[in-house]
Amino acid sequence: MSDQLRRIVLASRPQGTPSTDNFRLESGPLPRPQDGQFLARVIWLSLDPYMRGRMDDSKSYAKPVAIGDTMEAACVAEVIDSRNGDFARGDIVMGGFGWSSHALSDGTGVRKIDPAIAPISTALGVLGMPGHTAWVGLNDIAQAQSGETIVVSAATGAVGSLVGQLAKQKGMHVIGVAGGAEKCAFAEKDLQYDLCLDHHALDAEALQKAIAEAAPAGVDVYYENVGGKTLEAVIPAMNVGGRIALCGMIAWYSGKGLADAMPLPRVWRTILTQRLRVQGFIIFDHFDRLPAFLQDVGPMVRDGRVTYRESVAEGLDAAPQAFLDLLEGGNFGKQLVRVGDDPAG
Ligand code: NDP
């Protein structure tokens, strides 16, 4: 067991696109748990697009990470020392332990993971926050129905890959948009999309035309993960009574492309004339739906009806670059960092 605590802190706030200079690795002695606490070693660390927002000191749904503080993250970890009666040495747990090799916790917000159910890394992906987001967005927010046409952006990512598969199982016509031929081939072959459009190969006008051709009867549901030119290409195709589940807008997180974005009056007009329902949602308002999500999707993952893919960066030091790559589409599936050995392999 390493006797050092290693953590990555926010060194400075980015101006626009972040760089590795915005992060700093720090190390120190391993802390000892006090009464009521346990010490865990991190095995899997989840990198997620929302972390870009935490780097800015601006008003949002959650507080920013302070300069010098450990970057926030959900992790799967193993309890290695405990003075908390609810957690024993060897327990596998999930919690907000941050970009860190180890964490002390009093158990608040920590959930035990059963390694017998699925690989423990899935608690951060298809059976974790991204999967929960996909399921809530599709079912509760978009109220997607059999026979409808849906467009899913970031179609092969942690959220999108589950949206596409669940939509197909509902009997929808499913169109994905992803970056690159390899991702699109995976979407069509493995994720059951009817069609996937490569936004790298299509400019805004061509993407709009391709979506209109792929959805001759129009689009009923847009599962919005990216904003940017994909959103602008889908808007003109929306049907009367269509729904947009506004989950994310990663293309705009670092401020790129804002100046030449589609003018607000055109978007507003389409919402009015097509009587669209556009609903933003943040998954932490929907924790009450976690048990129903796990009950529905857990068996599908176990028996292979739902597939998932992970992008793994090796070692805590690799986290900053892997995060920067995620913001640019460098991940292919759920982006994880393997911080320590996974006892389940
Ligand atoms: P992904 O695993 O999908 O990774 C991000 C993907 O976004 C990249 O792989 C890339 O896919 C795509 N992307 C990046 N930049 C651009 C761009 N400029 N234009 C188009 N696509 C781009 O991430 P997640 O599944 O974890 O998250 C997807 C979205 O959902 C994010 O916007 C995230 O913030 C949001 N989210 C929201 C939640 C909520 O509670 N509302 C909860 C969880 C996630 P590609 O290469 O295919 O373009």
Q: Compute, in angstroms, the gap from residue 155 CA to the centroid of ligand 1.
A: 9
Say yes or no: CB of residue 48 within 6 Å of ligand 1: yes
Q: Measured from the CB, is residue 196 less than 6 Å from ligand 1?
A: no
Residue 48 has pLDDT above 70, yes or no: yes
- Closest approach atom of ligand 1 to CA 200: 48
CATH fold of 129-283, please? Rossmann fold (3.40.50)
**Where in the chain are the domains?**
4-125+309-338, 129-283
pLDDT tens figures, 134-184: 999 999 999 999 999 999 999 999 999 999 999 999 999 999 999 999 999
Tokens of 37: 């606490």
Q: What pLDDT shows up at residue 122?
A: 98
The whole-model pTM stands at: 0.97
For ligand 1, whether the C-beta of 174 sits within 6 Å is no
Ligand 1 atom nearest to CA at 229:
19
Which residue's structure tokens are 């993407």?
A: 207
Residue 2 pLDDT exceeds 70: no
Residues 68/10, Cβ–Cβ less than 8 Å: yes
Architecture of the 4-125+309-338 domain? Alpha-Beta Complex (3.90)
Sequential DSSP letters for 216-259: TT-EEEEEES--HHHHHHHGGGEEEEEEEEE---GGGTT-TT-T
pLDDT tens, 55-76?
999 888 899 999 999 999 999 9
The tokens for 303 are: 């028996």
- In this predicted model, what pLDDT tens digit does every residue of 289-330 receive, in sequence order? 999 999 999 999 999 999 999 999 999 999 999 999 999 999
Contacts by 256-259 with C-beta closer than 8 Å and gap 24+?
A: 256/16, 256/17, 257/228, 257/229
Assign 3 a pLDDT band (cuts: 50, 70, 90). confident
**Across 82-98, average pLDDT:** 98
- State residue 246's pLDDT score: 98
Cα of 248 vs centre of ligand 1, distance in Å, is 7
Longest dimension (CA), the chain: 64
Ligand 1 neighbourhood includes 65 CB (under 6 angstroms) = no
Measured in angstroms, how far is the CA atom of residue 227 from the centroid of ligand 1?
A: 10
| Closest C-alpha among 59, 75, 97, 213 to residue 151 | 213
Q: What is the pLDDT of residue 344?
A: 80
Closest CA to 307 of 192, 175, 176, 155: 192
Q: Which of 20, 36, 221 is nearest to 11 (CA)?
A: 20
Q: Does the C-beta of 226 come closer than 6 Å to ligand 1?
A: yes
Percent of the chain with pLDDT over 90: 96
**CA-proximal residue: ligand 1, atom 16 (nearest):** 251
Q: How far is CA 99 from each of CA 43, 47, 89, 306, rounded to the nearest angstrom?
A: 11, 9, 22, 29
Give the three-state DSSP class for 345. Answer: coil
Judged against a pLDDT cut of 60, whether residue 215 lies above it is answered with: yes
Q: What is the pLDDT of residue 50?
A: 97
Do 127 and 143 touch, CB atoms closer than 8 A? no
